[in-house]
Structure 1
Amino acid sequence: MVNLFCMCVGLAFLALAILTFLLCTWNPKINNTARLHLSICLFLGHLLFLVGVARTENAVVCAVIAGVLHFLFLSGFVWMLLETVQLFLLVRSLSKVQIIHKEGLKPLYLLLIGYGAPMVVVGISAAVFSDGYGSKDVCWLINDRNFHWSFIGPVCSILALNCISFGLIVWNLLPTLANMKSDVSQSRDTRLIVFKIVAQFFVLGCAWILGFFQSTSILIYLFIILNSQQGTFIFIVHCLLNKEVREEYKRWFSCLFRKKEPSGSSGSPSKK
């Protein structure tokens, strides 16, 4: 029950984040490709896990569900790594968010890497051991022939790269912060970037690390809560903490209430 509630809350915030990335008027120099597709992969993966992971009645359908879950979650990790790369390029460019598009990877390259790499892993895994997807108990990777390492291996590699990348990002930011003490606004913006970097590492990375150490019920519940609330984190950090997005929300709500006003006040003249 806790798992169901947490996943539904996370899915709702992921949906809000996706709509925000798609509909908000962003600075044209900001590249949200990695964040958008990370949110899409997490949304589809969590939704399919919620409705399909226990559909073991049909072996073929179960295998397809397991394969799609394998692809979606791997894609999420790759997009997480690409987001880290974007952050590193951002920091290297004097920590100015406005020039991330100039210094970051092009959207086409991001799409090829973000979905191409997981597709190669899933394709090779299915070719090597086609019976590794789905079991009588759950629609996921089975443990026979260590097939589950086709997911754990890439995940561990990406988490290791993320750890190294986040360390390099923070290390490169320290001199920048020291030189910005006179510029209060820029220093505040850079500190917000540092907060986003650290928070993203712990929520998106450490949540999955807990999945490898589920020896007690406390760790299991921590894994469920943190993993299911990744969408909540993405919405808060990348949407609510963004000043431009908050201004866009205000415009949306003001337009919404303005449209409702005439219908609510149209009856007043008829009473005279």
Structure 2
Amino acid sequence: MMRDRFKISLFPFCALVFGIFALMIAVYLIASLPVLQKEGVQIYTSNEWRAVEDNPEREFYGVLAAIYGSLYTSILAVLIALPLSISFAVFVIDYAPRKLKEPLIVATDVMAGLPTIIYGIWGAFVLVPLLRDYVMLPLYRHLSFIPLFSFEPAGGYSFLAAGVLLGIMVTPFASSIIREAYRMVPYTYREAAFSLGATRYEATRILLGHIKPAIVAGILLAFGRAVGETVAVSLVVGNTFNIHPSLFAPGYTISSLIANQFGNAFIYGYMVSALFAAGLFLFVIGLVVNIGGLMVLRRYAHAQRG
């Protein structure tokens, strides 16, 4: 009886959380309707951004470049974070001395909790010049015939800079999931691998194969974190409506577009609605990716218990 009452007492709090979530979706949908009725799906398929202050009917907003930039930089971030996260997890669990284990874990937790503006300032004043002078310019001089390196990196603010910065930022999130999953592998599995004559490297590969769902979940959650990052990316991506295959080209992401344009959006007829429509697309991407990551992680946890 008391247990049932306790469950009932928790229901309002659960309903409040889901109610807030539903209201967020409703706000984005309602605010996006004006521009969606005016432009339709072209807002997501066009790269034209035409703001006209005195004639709203001539306004046109296409966020394809921002969508492209968000996906491009997030994929780069995941490609960078994946080997870093796996390597860090294996090193902390299997190779790091006992005195270093906890300090290393605490350091990654601190990195995960740092304000993003700290990363952004460091990226703008340290990372971008380093990448420009020692990575972008040499590659451009010698390999500019390859599309990935074909854009001249004048300032260094680019998809590459944003992707590298995001990769550094999301590594603590991915590594924490992978590390805990790797730690939970029963020690008997390690003993079995070594008893069959496996080397330390081969045993590590076997154990990592056992936690593949956790690795996938960690990377999906890291992608969801990267695709929604705003302040840090705005400082290093270049903020240009540009769709270019080169890593060295400047661009926009949905988050940086909203951050840069929202301040003066209210003087235009449809810009606020366009920014909400862009945010709605980002909302959907983040929701799908995070749900996918949580589902994979839940399957892994269920398989471990089974």
Same fold (TM over 0.5): no
| TM-score, normalised by the number of residues in structure 1 | 0.26
Q: Which has the larger radius of gyration?
A: 2
